[in-house]
Structure 1
Amino acid sequence: MTVLRNPVIRGFAPDPSMVRAGDWYYVATSSFEWFPTIPIHRSRDLAHWEYAGHVRGAAPGDSLAGVPDSGGIWAPSLSWDGERFWVVYSVVRSVGTPYFDLDTYVSTATDVAGEWTAPRRVAGHGFDPALFHHEDRLWLLNLQNDHRPGGRRFAGIVVTELDRGTLEPIGGTHLLLQHERLIEGPKMLYRDGWYVLVLAEGGTGFEHGVLVARSQNLTGPYELDDRPLLTTRDDPSVPLQKAGHAELVEAPDGQWVLSHLTARPLRTPHGPRCTLGRETAVQAVTWDAEGWPRLRHGGHHPAVEVDVTTPPQASPPVTREDPLGWPWSTLRRPPDPSWADTTSRPGWIRLRGRHGPESRWEHSLLARRITEHRAEAEVTVEARPSTFTQAAGLVLRYDAEAYLSLDLTWAEPEGEGQRGQQWRGEGRTVLSLVERDEGGTREVAVVEVGPGVPVTLGVTTDGADARFWYVRGGVRTPVGPPLDFSRLSDDHGSRLRFTGAVAGIHARDLVDASFTADFRGFRLTCTPE
């Protein structure tokens, strides 16, 4: 017996799609505007998970340039046909509009860490696609979106048969189910003569849940279970909130488990806020006498600790040779030696400054997911900024409207106002602490430092507080007051937000992209509660 502790994949790992292939379990999660595209983790015992690879080439042309924050790759669905892994997903290019403007793609591989086929576009009716393999036939499930004025953006679940070779539609599209509550994220399995449809219900926030429907015919009609399989919408005190977007998987011994997303909110004066984003959890499931799935521990709330019957087994290590590979992530494009260089100065990462931190195009940023409510990041940076258009430093980021950064940059001589660059070679090298939210950008503090010398920057987060510091004379020296880290969350502001907070290093040069900064010793330590 193994005891797993949820979330099993912690910090910004939403929309998990789990599949078993032999003795291994694999989970694919949404990556949105971030690279690597569609991270995949694996486990033998459901308790201990490791990064196993990602779907290389999932973004056509290896670019998501221009996609909005929380756009990009939504809700990949991973499946296994006995020989190959399949993944289907949508690239969403509009967020907060009725249209979504998305393209749906399919890719396959024999090994999740190996080569994936070039993505092939398939006809799709909305986001949250999934593939169902049954009796040598292939079916595409989809959310149906009705963009028309007065239409329902979540207008039901549809299914279309695809030719396994060409991926072209065969026959028509069938409407399986409509519901008065928002339903999305369809997953299908076949058990004991029933086609079982697992649905995300209520939206991906605190109203989220899992609803099950079934039919003896694939194309319906489907009957709904009279109660949810999983939800926390009725009890805000449950430690794992937002439970939903699930998938049922059978273990080798005939037991069943459920993967689902969840979140661990901070309790703030402004309400609950999920700085870690949505994460991946696993529950044990049984089937009742009437053939409906139920949480093994009873009720419909997710458990933090779960006994699973899969015995723990040693896993061969996953070989990684890329120094800028996982756990590093980048925005909208993979890292490129033209702006992220690890060879020019051994032991250092050299970033060439490009666009500013709110760009959707060319942002020089390397970041790692924050996985706990107590964390600390630290890095040493060496650079010679000569204009206010150049900067490099340490950043906590959610998206373009939610970040905190401590940057090495240039400022006018003390006492001289901001009138643009003076072009006299004068000025100071300073640390500038900036906070950004939907209300704009504010410089919180400025500290002068010596020009051209390495400086160690750091930040400590504890719940909703973020405290920046730098090392002077071997001593940590605070920069500015504590800042509100909870603004870097899914739940702050009025816009849709779907990712999670990260810590990283970045550089910018808004004039000619010639400025470079060298970083070494980046450390992100996350302390479990």
Structure 2
Amino acid sequence: MIRNPVLPGFNPDPSICRVGEDYYIATSTFEWYPGVQIHQSRDLVNWRLASRPLNRAALLDMRGNPDSCGIWAPCLSYAHGRFWLVYTDVKRLDGNFKDSHNYVTTSDAVDGEWTDRIYVNSSGFDPSLFHDDDGRKWFMNMQWNHRGPGTGGNPEHASFDGILLQQWNEIEGLSGPAINIYPGTARGLTEAPHIFKRNGWYYLTTAEGGTGYRHAVTMARSRSITGPYEDHPQKHLISSAAAPRHPIQRAGHGQYVETPDGETYHTFLMGRPISGPGKSGRFCPLGRETGIERCVWHDDDWLYLEQGGLLPRVEVPSPTDVEPDSPRSVRRTFDGDALPPEFQWLRTPEKDRIFRLGDGSLTLIGRESIGSWFEQALVARRQEHLAYVAETMVSFDPVTYQQAAGLTTYYNRYKFHALLLTHDPDAGRVLSIVSCNGDWPDGKLTMALDAPVRVSDAPVEMRVEVNHASQQFSWRQSGGAWKEVGPALDASVISDEGGRGEHASFTGAFVGMIAFDLTGQGAEARFSRFDYEPRG
């Protein structure tokens, strides 16, 4: 069986394609670097991280991008012996504008060298590329309308002003008129277009309803790629909006794929909410994940979920008899010359300015403050389980309170908790806990300890135990017993629903290592290991 999610933790907006017997899923990475995650599978059950292709400045530089901007909704395809990756780099979130720039890059191998990006347009986000069987290529994206209510094609959500389609090739760029082929249904917020062709029909799938709990995969079709498109008899192919108690929520935004034997599946974005103390009463600590559903074609030439209805299942029949891998603990000691594959950092292509590997440790070079949009020394991995324990060991010699390094659970600049080794003018080398408990304009730094905790000059081991909506920091030195430090903290802050809510930020929860030096002198912190143990 396929057990959903197939890509747990922050892995949204899944674009899927098949090459021979190999399946590939590309997902959004937003402000995390390198950009775009591509996972590979041969059975649709178990997946491995194959590459993060946007790994140099000629492909991506996000310094200054606000939280939840950067890489939105990539589209991965294969044609003419090459992989084609289309992606958006969004430069603005709040306000009427988005400043979303769309690019194309190609590679002979998914884990190979990708070409320098080719700029396409900036008329909207969620771009897609369709390779038609007559040799033409068509570029699509949703059209962003900054003018406000009453001005766009959809009366309820004017900013999402339909799906644009235009011919494109890598030599001449865009050509011919940009045609608005689909305004969307009454659910609105129409985005994420993908086209596939079958039996003379062009099938268009889009995401609708926003990326929260009203999300959906919407389907339409036409005999001509330029339309007009008629809606699916159900309008939507996948959605859990009408079933708030279903274990899979926020279902939407995916893409169609066929197996070598002609079986049909569709990816979708999903969330698994649990109860929490926030204003919504529920939150998805693992963010927006990737699921897969099995589909069937009916005699009317429309695609439907195999089980009928719109609700995706937790367990889905797979095309092969393979069991899902079991969760396992991961211990990293930073012995190699590259980061372990699960780790990423934020925004900058100039990684040598914020970290280096060598001598059996990861050295973070303290730069700007925790939450900076430009140059932040934070190296972290996704939270992939509702309960887990993470540990690290840090060697650091701060000489001022402006220098700090330690362990953090992190969502964005306004939603994090951090256990820090720093300096106190009266007590010397100490531990402190800093938190930020909500998005702008309400987010302010809070200190969880009444007084800092003095520590010796020896390296400090740090630990965080996350259990659903709660988390607890601990520490020790020289192999002693673990000591809890500070109170239990609200882990629901580290989620889409924390702060202003699911549509104000939509990335994912990370846990990792942080260092900053507000003096500008680049004080260095050495981390000798990082352990991640699933607990449930």
- Flag whether TM exceeds 0.5 (same fold): yes
Task: Give yes or no for the alignment of 1:288 onto 2:295.
Answer: no
Instruction: From the superposition, tell whether residues 94 and 233 of structure 1 become closer, same or farther in structure 2 (CA, over 3 Å).
Output: same
Aligned partner (choices 192, 201, 207) of residue 208 of structure 2: 201
Q: In the alignment, what sits opposite 2:283?
A: 273
In the alignment, is the contact (CA less than 8 A) between 1:65 and 1:332 conserved in 2? yes
CA-CA distance at 1:69 after TM superposition: 0.2
Q: Which amino acid aligns with 1:370?
A: Q
CA-CA distance at 1:184 after TM superposition: 0.9
CA-CA distance at 1:447 after TM superposition: 4.3
Q: In the alignment, what sits opposite 2:196?
A: 189
Q: State how far apart, in whole Å, the 1-side matches of 2:121 and 2:257 are.
A: 27
RMSD: 1.9
Instruction: From the superposition, tell whether residues 437 and 103 of structure 1 become closer, same or farther in structure 2 (CA, over 3 Å).
Output: same
Aligned partner (choices 338, 342, 347) of residue 332 of structure 1: 347
1:222-233 matches, cutoff 5 A: 222-227=229-234, 228-233=236-241
Aligned partner (choices 238, 253, 264) of residue 256 of structure 1: 264
1:500-519 matches, cutoff 5 A: 500-519=508-527
1:311-330 matches, cutoff 5 A: 312=322, 322-330=337-345
1:286-345 per-residue CA deviation (whole Å, 9 max, x = no partner) reads 011111111112221111111112455999xxxx965315211000024633431222xx
Instruction: From the superposition, tell whether residues 61 and 55 of structure 1 become closer, same or farther in structure 2 (CA, over 3 Å).
Output: closer
In the alignment, is the contact (CA less than 8 A) between 2:59 and 2:117 conserved in 1? no
Q: Which amino acid aligns with 1:210?
A: V
What SS does the corresponding residue of 1:408 show, helix, strand or coil?
A: strand
1:28-39 matches, cutoff 5 A: 28-39=26-37
1:482-507 per-residue CA deviation (whole Å, 9 max, x = no partner) reads 00000111012226111111000011
Q: In the alignment, what sits opposite 1:470?
A: 475
1:204-260 per-residue CA deviation (whole Å, 9 max, x = no partner) reads 100001110001111111100131210010111111110000100011000001011
In the alignment, is the contact (CA less than 8 A) between 1:213 and 1:225 conserved in 2? yes
Q: In the alignment, what sits opposite 2:113?
A: 115
Instruction: From the superposition, tell whether residues 220 and 62 of structure 1 become closer, same or farther in structure 2 (CA, over 3 Å).
Output: closer
Q: In the alignment, what sits opposite 2:457?
A: 452
Instruction: From the superposition, tell whether residues 394 and 322 of structure 1 become closer, same or farther in structure 2 (CA, over 3 Å).
Output: same
Q: State how far apart, in whole Å, the 2-side matches of 1:322 and 1:14 are.
A: 29
Task: Give yes or no for the alignment of 1:368 onto 2:371.
Answer: no
Q: Which moved more, 1:506-515 or 1:251-260?
A: 506-515
Q: State how far apart, in whole Å, the 2-side matches of 1:523 and 1:233 are.
A: 37
In the alignment, is the contact (CA less than 8 A) between 2:388 and 2:467 conserved in 1? yes
Report the count of equivalent residues: 506
1:415-430 matches, cutoff 5 A: 427-430=427-430
CA-CA distance at 1:450 after TM superposition: 3.2
1:22-101 matches, cutoff 5 A: 22-57=20-55, 60=58, 62-101=60-99
Q: State how far apart, in whole Å, the 2-side matches of 1:510 and 1:89 are.
A: 34
In the alignment, is the contact (CA less than 8 A) between 1:352 and 1:513 conserved in 2? no
Aligned partner (choices 365, 372, 377) of residue 352 of structure 1: 365
Q: State how far apart, in whole Å, the 1-side matches of 2:49 and 2:350 are.
A: 18
Name segments (4+ residues, structure 1) moved above 6 Å. Answer: none
TM-score when normalising by structure 1? 0.92
Q: State how far apart, in whole Å, the 2-side matches of 1:514 and 1:189 are.
A: 51
Q: State how far apart, in whole Å, the 2-side matches of 1:312 and 1:295 are.
A: 22
Identity of aligned residues (%): 38
Q: In the alignment, what sits opposite 1:399?
A: 412
Q: In the alignment, what sits opposite 2:311?
A: 301
In the alignment, is the contact (CA less than 8 A) between 2:45 and 2:323 conserved in 1? no
Q: Which amino acid aligns with 2:199?
A: D
What SS does the corresponding residue of 1:106 show, helix, strand or coil?
A: strand
Q: Which amino acid aligns with 1:494?
A: R
In the alignment, is the contact (CA less than 8 A) between 1:45 and 1:313 conserved in 2? no
CA-CA distance at 1:170 after TM superposition: 2.0
Instruction: From the superposition, tell whether residues 47 and 321 of structure 1 become closer, same or farther in structure 2 (CA, over 3 Å).
Output: farther
Q: Which amino acid aligns with 1:378?
A: E
Instruction: From the superposition, tell whether residues 230 and 154 of structure 1 become closer, same or farther in structure 2 (CA, over 3 Å).
Output: same
In the alignment, is the contact (CA less than 8 A) between 2:207 and 2:254 conserved in 1? yes
In the alignment, is the contact (CA less than 8 A) between 1:410 and 1:428 conserved in 2? yes
Q: In the alignment, what sits opposite 2:328?
A: none
Q: Which amino acid aligns with 2:137?
A: L
CA-CA distance at 1:131 after TM superposition: 0.4
CA-CA distance at 1:278 after TM superposition: 0.4
Q: Which amino acid aligns with 2:139?
A: L
In the alignment, is the contact (CA less than 8 A) between 1:36 and 1:330 conserved in 2? yes
Unaligned 5+ residue runs, structure 2? Answer: 152-157, 326-334
TM-score when normalising by structure 2? 0.91
Q: In the alignment, what sits opposite 2:332?
A: none
What SS does the corresponding residue of 1:262 show, helix, strand or coil?
A: strand
What SS does the corresponding residue of 1:308 show, helix, strand or coil?
A: coil
Q: In the alignment, what sits opposite 2:251?
A: 243
Q: Which amino acid aligns with 2:191?
A: E
Q: In the alignment, what sits opposite 2:329?
A: none
Q: State how far apart, in whole Å, the 1-side matches of 2:160 and 2:485 are.
A: 47
1:442-493 per-residue CA deviation (whole Å, 9 max, x = no partner) reads 1101443334211110000000001000125621111011000001110122
Q: State how far apart, in whole Å, the 2-side matches of 1:237 and 1:153 are.
A: 30
Q: State how far apart, in whole Å, the 2-side matches of 1:29 and 1:350 are.
A: 29
In the alignment, is the contact (CA less than 8 A) between 2:285 and 2:494 conserved in 1? yes
Q: In the alignment, what sits opposite 2:154?
A: none
Q: State how far apart, in whole Å, the 1-side matches of 2:39 and 2:399 are.
A: 43
In the alignment, is the contact (CA less than 8 A) between 1:428 and 1:451 conserved in 2? no
Q: State how far apart, in whole Å, the 2-side matches of 1:149 and 1:450 are.
A: 56
Q: Which amino acid aligns with 2:173?
A: E
